Amino acid sequence: MEKILEKILSYNKAWFGLIFIGSVLNAIVLKLSAFNNVPNISIWCFLVGFLVGIIAHIRDKWLWI
């Protein structure tokens, strides 16, 4: 159980991307009328967030510094 938890936590940047960035992006696009007619926009937002998180996980940092 502890090892599973450790494995999950080792992907913390990916989870942060999916949940935090995804939720924020989703909230922003829902407020913008330009995205009103885009199908499955919420899925795309969470996917972008997850992608950003996965890239940060692979690079082990968020910014290009």
Partner 1 sequence: MDIANSPSEEFSFEKEKAIAKKYAQRFQWEMILIGVGQACIWLSLWPLVINEIIPLWSGFIIATICACFAYLPSHEAQHGNFSRGNPKKRWLDSFVGNFTLITLIYPYEVLRVTHMKHHAYTNDKEKDPDFQTSNAKSIKEIVLLVLDGTSPDYEKYKEVFASDKAFQKAFDKGVKIALLLRFALMVMVVLYPLQTLLLWWLPAKLGSIYTTIFFSYYPHIGTEHGRYKNTRFWQHWIPRYLNHSMQLHFIHHLHPNIGHYDEPKAIEELKPFLIAKGVPGAEDIPDRVTYNPLIKF
Q: Least distance to partner 1 from the beta carbon of 21, Å?
A: 9
- Find, among 48, 58, 60, 57, the residue nearest to 20 by Cα: 48
User: Checking phi first, is residue 15 left (phi over 0); if not, alpha (psi -120 to 50) or beta?
Assistant: alpha
8 binds partner 1 per the rule CB under 8 A: no
CA dihedral of 45, 58, 15, 31, whole degrees rounded to 10? -20
Residue with Cβ nearer partner 1 (12 or 38): 12
User: If binding is defined by CB under 8 A, does position 24 make contact with partner 1?
Assistant: yes
Asked if 9 touches partner 1 (CB under 8 A), the answer is yes
**Which spans of this chain sit near partner 1 (rule: CB under 8 A)?**
9, 12, 15-16, 19-20, 23-24, 26-28, 61-63, 65
